Structures are given as structure tokens and as C-alpha cells.
Structure 1
């Protein structure tokens, strides 16, 4: 039954509804696969086998009674920053090593209501403070299934590695500066950061009684990491819609459905801007630039008018760091850290120990407003904007930057990873990463697609049409082959 690992959500749901596969069979399959492969990948931080089987038995009873939800019987990995009732939620930190939430996050409530089975918690960088590596003092490093010597990126690297390795058919991540899109790019998957507020959060990232876990509030987006655009759209639909506990979502009515979007044969009528170097002036791997240019040529062949253009950047990376610090509640986090200082990630410590000035923080807030206005004007001229997701392919484990870009020093700054991504956390625009090509060393390269506020549908239509037009819409070779070669 190896093919189940890469069958995709839609196919699995159809087999459950037809009673050709049972939720128990599917759950046992993925639990066994975790037992077999996750010792080397380290995608999951917590799995409660007995609880999974209890959920599966309940799901099978509903299946036999003909009560099947949109995700019925589908085991899903949940990032360890997102609260799960009765299942440990640590944020990748020893501070919360024993936290057992008494309530589900909103998205988990909705996934359960749709018939999904919560398979386990996927590893994360501590409090989400790394886009480079998914590593923490509590659970260690997650490896990229495409090359076990490389990183899956962060901070949702556990979710991406789990899907890429076939340890679950789909997973949920969170994205405060690229943390869904970057691991999706490194792991050859589709990842969506919806319009800000479309998918609500609570208590994760919203409840101040959990310092660290409540960081990133104005930038955080929950999003799916999936093997295909269709699977990602279905997941986004299930999780979307306002909830009164999240002030950023409560202002919206029910969003339009993203599922069932037509994979158009033509993108005629769309004008798409593109850039290979819109990442703050840092070097881009030539293979990545070539891959993006080839993808843009494909978009043109599909009928879109493509224009090499980009908006002016208004928020520098240092200003983004200041905005993150503003939202991290440093006084409460310092209190929570007492006794755990030696285990806390250096990035968190650097943020807490820096003496931010009023002028720095004020300038960062002003630049955020300017960035949004720049993109409002830009999207008056263009339907979408495409860039590389990341300026390079997956980097070696433990490194803060690539060592393969000509002219760039080894151990380049962590900020180099997020240059194409973080501006859209500042502005809240919907953005996705989709595989577009393999690099020279056969590691995946992602293309980022961005559009106007509330045009998640357009992001997905462009992605689905592009996916349909390429030879291997779910990647280049099954990641399972890498695991078999590793003899694990």
C-alpha cells in the first residue's frame, strides 16, 4: 500500500466514502510509516498512537453510517505551535514541554468537524523564530526527505517534511515570515499563506497568557502544506471563515469557496508581474533565477501577459525584526524563560536582549503602512506577482545560509532566506509556493505567487493551471525513494 502515502487527500476521501478504505486502515498505515521512517526524518514531535486509533474508530463508525465530512478519515499533521486539546503543544520550547491544552485551536476544531484525524504534532523551530532550520533543544533537528543532509527550512519544517516523506497526506503550518512557503519550496510541495484573517487563530498566537506561543500576532497566517493545489484548496476551505475569538477574522463574512477551482487551460486576460531579484539586494542562486524565468515563460505560454516589474520595498529586514519584537511581549517572555535560559534558541535571546529604540520601533510601524500602500498601487496594475520563493535550494543542516551561491560568503545571514516572503506577512496579501523545477543537485525550487487581498482564488487558479501544465505536478521524484536509499 505504499501508494497511499502519495495518493493525495481527494483520492483518499473518495475511497473512504466508497468504503474501499477505512479510516482505521489509513491511520494504521501512516502510523506504521512514521514508525519506519521518522526516526531519521524527525518530522513529528508528538504522536499518541492510541488516541489516533480511537479517533479512527469513531471515524469508521461515522463512515459506516454514511456520515462523511470533507476530510473524512484523513490523518493530518499539526504544527507544534497550534493548540490541540489533550495532545501536547510545546512550541518547540522546554518552557512548554509539559503543556497539554484544554482546548483545540479554531482550525483544529474545524478539521475535526470535517472528519479529519489528528495524527500528531509536527516539529517547529522554537516559537517559530527560524526560517532556516527546524531545530530546537527539546526535539532536535528535522531533516529534508529529499536529501537527509539538508534542512527542510523553517519554521514549519516538520509539517513539510512529514508530507514530503509520505508520513501524512497533508499538514498544517503557520507562516509569520515565510514559514509555510519556505519549507514547501525546499520540500517540493504546495504551500498556501491565505489572506490575513481568512483563517482564524485562537488560542494559538492570540492568547497572551502563553508568552512565546502568542508571538507574531499581526503577521501569522495558518496555511496548508499539501501534495497538490487541489488538496491545499480543500484544506483552506475547511479552515476558513470568521471566529469571534480572533479579532482579525471577526470583521469578515464567510469567504468564497476555494475548492473545485477550474484548472484553466489558459491564463488569458491576466497580467502577471515577475522578478528574480526582489529580495532586498541579496544574491540569488543562478539555478533559482533560471527556474523562475522558465516558469514565467510557461505562464506566458499559458496566455498570461508577463511583465518584468516589482513594487518598491518599504520595510527592510531590520524593520521587520523590530515589528516582530513589538509583538513578542518581551517582558512576559523573559519571565517565562526564567530557569530555561540555556535551552532557549539564540534568535529568541537576540531579540530579547537587543535594546530597541523608540525611533526604530516607530519607523518600523510607519514602514509597514508604506509597504501596504505600495502594494495597493502595484496591484492596481497587475493581477498577480511571481518571484522565487527562496533565493536558493535547501541548505545543509545546521547552517544559517547556503554555501553554494557564487560570491556569497558561507553562513550567510538568516534573513537571506526570507527576503522574497516576509513582505507579504507585513501586508497580509495571499501568497503560495508551488514547485517549478529541480535545481542542479535535484533539490526542489519553488515559485511564489501573490495576488490582491481576498484573491486567494486567483493565486490558486494560477497555481493549479501551472501545476496542470508541468510534467510532475507533485514534485520530481517521490521523496520515499530517498528514504529507501537511506536504508532506514
Structure 2
């Protein structure tokens, strides 16, 4: 067994646990030590549950010794701090809720814990997950990519991505409402999967009937992502959109997919915003590899542009969602603890009429239908994930709260449409540039073709689309 246990993938760790070559207590202690050594500079966690983790690991070792087994038994895991964990502080990234301790687990959180995962803590997230960068009034430091500590790990799953990339967790739970799994995956050189609508029971505020947020995995490998997906893909019986795959993800990734038709574009659809050359390079090298693997790759026009009407609709949509969360969760006497950006969005949402909410959703649906039309002639879309490299700290709020949403869209413009259509989307690493900054690509599949999409991701991984290049702190 290697001295550096975090060198092992989650899949290898589970195999070693089951074979008795490694104990969960040993593995858990290793990761807790790494969190203690590195999290002060990474900002990956809002809460570390060291005592609980050691207790759960001891119980897992006992169960393994008695011949029991479940899919994640003994494997350390972090849960994004937007999701309830029974008996463990859940802040939602908000100082207004910093003392909240739920009585029950959220649906998907419960599935992961019931599968035997060891809870090491809650990973950092922006307030109510409303930004593509992870900075809040709960933690002293924003989540940064371990590849450059002066740049954001993105968001809203920034803490989860930073932890996995730095070797503080083997794999992490995350969620994606407009790219919040995929952009952190790219800034941290990871695999991040946003499932189709309904594969995982969505986390939506009360009163929302246009679900765009869904939970998924952040991992170093496709096989590790498949491990979590097999557990998470059990929607609740009351899920209006719920469905289950015909096979396990861990089974299909060993088989190459059929030849697929791949549509490619790199345009942003925003006036004056062009993708960074390294972003385009990531797409081109992936397209070339797909052709070598026997897939039919064709460049297509950008399906929909981000005109002023669509940008305004997205602004109102985010305001509507934040207002729902604030009104349902935040006591009136604690609203003064909310961040300026949350208050800005809350004010937008509070002023919307019912007719304006419906009109907003109709505008977004029209854009989404333009993207769906592409899949009449294609099986998969290949695009960038972000328009450029990880963003320097302070960039997004440099021009005041009113400019934040536009600056975020300029950088993460490629991801929101897959949330609107409900399609599966996976972010894969591509390469590091000469400054050591990561770039990645996005693959989007047909609705409910999650198995096929992840099999394609595994094929690209096997064909060496990316190298397992670790950040400097990995070996420290």
C-alpha cells in the first residue's frame, strides 16, 4: 500500500478497504491530516467533522470485518454546504444561517450516508449557491484552485472541487444550477457530471416549478464519478421528473460507446466576448481525439445568442430563486447578515409579479428549445466550459454588485443552457497552459442519455485526453 493514500483513486480505496488492505480509520485520519495541513490556504471547508468522521470510520471497519458491504462503505466524503446533514451544521454559505443544524439529511445526502460514506465535513459554497465563485461571510477565505492560490476554484461547488484536486477528499458531492459542478471541475482539473433532470431528486426552493439545479459528483476519474452516480441516481418516489437508468454507471464505463454524431461550437453568443485561445485549443484537441476514436464530428452554428432579453430573463430568474430561499429560510432579524449580492438579487425577486415570473421562464424556455433542436442531428455537443482560465480573486465584484451577474456570464457562458434543457453534461480536463492553469471541455448528451455520455467520457479518459497532473500541494 502506497504511503500517500490520496494517490489512490476512490475506486482503488474502496477495493483496498474491502480486501482488508486498508482500514477506514487509517484512510479517514489521512484525509483529516491533509485538511488540517492545507485547508487554511484553500478555503475548501466550512465545517470539518473530525470526531464524527473517526466514529463513523470505526463503525465502518467493524461492519467490513463482519462481512458487510455497501457501495461507499468506509470511503471519506464531503457534502456541499447547501445540503442538509442531520446533526451537522449546514450554513447554506450564509452568515445569517451559520448556526443551523438540521434534524434530517437531505434526500441525496441521506443516500450517500446510507451507502456507508464517512462524512469529513461540509464543503464551501457561496451564499445560497448564487455565484460562480466561492466567497462568503461564513469562512475567512474564498475557495481557490490549488493550481494557483490567487484564483478562484469557481462555484458554487468551489470548496468541493478544491478539496478533491488538492487531495483533501477522494471524491465529493456537488450540485449544478447553471454550471456549478462543471466550472469548478475545469478550474481544478477534475471530472464533473451534471445528470439529466430527474436522475437525482432536484434541490429546488418551495414554489419553484422550473427546476434547474441537480446534484452530482466531482472526481479525479470517470470511474470515481460513476461510483457516486450509482448511489445518487435513486430519485424519491414523489419526484415529478424522477427516472432511473437501465444499468449501473460503473458497468457501462468499461464499454466504449457506439459511434456518435458530435456537434461542436466555441462562440460565446455575447457581443464583444471571445474565448481565450487555450479554451479553443481544448475543444479542438478533444474534437480531433473524438474523430480518431471513430465519432463523426461537425462544427455547427451557435444555437442561441445571449441577447439583452435573455440576459434580463436570467437575472430575474436568479432573483426569483434567491428571493424564495431568503423568504423561506432567513429570519427577518437576520437579513442584515446577508451579502450585498444576495440582497441585490432578493430585491429583484421581491419586485417580480407572477406574470413576470412566467414570462421570464418562457424566454428561457425559448432559448433552451434552440439548443435542443441541435440534437435532432447530433448525439452529443462539445463546447468549452469557460471562456477563459480560472479567475483572479476579486474580479467578479470589482465593478459593484450590479455588474456581478454580467461578469459571471461572460466567463461561464457555455454552461447554463444544459440546466435549462435538463440534459446531462460532463466537464472533462484537457490540459494546463504554460502558467500551469487548467482548461477543460464540456460534453452534453441527449436527455436521459447519461449512461452513454459517461461511457464517452471514459473512452476519452482511456485515450489519454488529459494527464493526471497534480497541483503543488499534492505531494506536501
Give the alignment's TM-score, normalised by structure 1: 0.89
Partner of 1:49: 50
How far residue 164 of structure 1 moved from its aligned partner, in angstroms, is 0.5
How far residue 264 of structure 1 moved from its aligned partner, in angstroms, is 5.4
Change over 3 Å in CA distance of 1:359–1:170 after alignment to 2: same
Q: Which of 364, 367, 374 is equivalent to 2:370?
A: 374
CA contact (8 A) 1:384 1:452 kept: yes
SS at match of 2:26: helix
1:430 is aligned to 2:424:
yes
What is the CA–CA distance in structure 2 between the aligned matches of 1:398 and 1:343, rounded to whole Å?
A: 20
Partner of 1:247: 240
Q: Which of 432, 442, 448 is equivalent to 2:442?
A: 448
Q: Deviations over 1:294-331 (max 9, x none)?
A: 11111111111111014522772321222233334459
Count of aligned pairs between the two proteins: 465
What is the CA–CA distance in structure 2 between the aligned matches of 1:326 and 1:279, rounded to whole Å?
A: 24
SS at match of 1:260: helix
Change over 3 Å in CA distance of 1:310–1:462 after alignment to 2: farther
What is the CA–CA distance in structure 1 between the aligned matches of 2:55 and 2:208, rounded to whole Å?
A: 33
How far residue 160 of structure 1 moved from its aligned partner, in angstroms, is 0.2
Q: Deviations over 1:441-460 (max 9, x none)?
A: 22111100001111011211
Q: Which of 224, 249, 252 is equivalent to 1:231?
A: 224
CA contact (8 A) 1:272 1:383 kept: yes
Q: Which of 326, 346, 356 is equivalent to 1:352?
A: 346
Q: Deviations over 1:18-41 (max 9, x none)?
A: 000011111111111111111111
What is the CA–CA distance in structure 2 between the aligned matches of 1:283 and 1:340, rounded to whole Å?
A: 41
SS at match of 1:380: coil
Change over 3 Å in CA distance of 1:12–1:377 after alignment to 2: same
CA contact (8 A) 1:130 1:347 kept: no
What is the CA–CA distance in structure 2 between the aligned matches of 1:410 and 1:443, rounded to whole Å?
A: 23
Query: Map of 1:83-482 to 2, 5 A cutoff?
Result: 83-131=84-132, 133-140=133-140, 141-201=142-202, 205-206=204-205, 208=206, 218-249=211-242, 252-253=243-244, 255-263=246-254, 269-281=259-271, 282-310=273-301, 312-313=303-304, 316-330=310-324, 333=327, 336=330, 338-354=332-348, 355-356=351-352, 360-400=356-396, 413-470=407-464, 472-474=466-468, 477-479=469-471, 481-482=472-473
Q: Give unpaired runs (5+ residues) of structure 2.
A: none
Q: Give unpaired runs (5+ residues) of structure 1.
A: 209-213, 403-408
CA contact (8 A) 1:271 1:304 kept: yes
286-295 or 159-168, larger mean C-alpha shift: 286-295
1:73 is aligned to 2:74:
yes
Change over 3 Å in CA distance of 1:227–1:331 after alignment to 2: closer
SS at match of 1:103: coil
What is the CA–CA distance in structure 1 between the aligned matches of 2:248 and 2:73, rounded to whole Å?
A: 18
SS at match of 1:437: strand
What is the CA–CA distance in structure 2 between the aligned matches of 1:65 and 1:357, rounded to whole Å?
A: 59
CA contact (8 A) 2:283 2:383 kept: yes
How far residue 363 of structure 1 moved from its aligned partner, in angstroms, is 3.3
RMSD: 2.7
What is the CA–CA distance in structure 2 between the aligned matches of 1:205 and 1:197, rounded to whole Å?
A: 12
What is the CA–CA distance in structure 2 between the aligned matches of 1:303 and 1:278, rounded to whole Å?
A: 28
How far residue 387 of structure 1 moved from its aligned partner, in angstroms, is 0.4
How far residue 276 of structure 1 moved from its aligned partner, in angstroms, is 1.1
SS at match of 2:144: coil
What is the CA–CA distance in structure 1 between the aligned matches of 2:97 and 2:4, rounded to whole Å?
A: 37
How far residue 244 of structure 1 moved from its aligned partner, in angstroms, is 2.6
CA contact (8 A) 2:253 2:454 kept: no
What is the CA–CA distance in structure 1 between the aligned matches of 2:166 and 2:325, rounded to whole Å?
A: 39
Q: Deviations over 1:42-79 (max 9, x none)?
A: 20111121111110111011110111211121100110
Partner of 1:406: none
How far residue 440 of structure 1 moved from its aligned partner, in angstroms, is 3.3
CA contact (8 A) 1:278 1:387 kept: no
CA contact (8 A) 1:278 1:310 kept: no
Give the alignment's TM-score, normalised by structure 2: 0.91
CA contact (8 A) 2:429 2:466 kept: no
SS at match of 2:174: strand
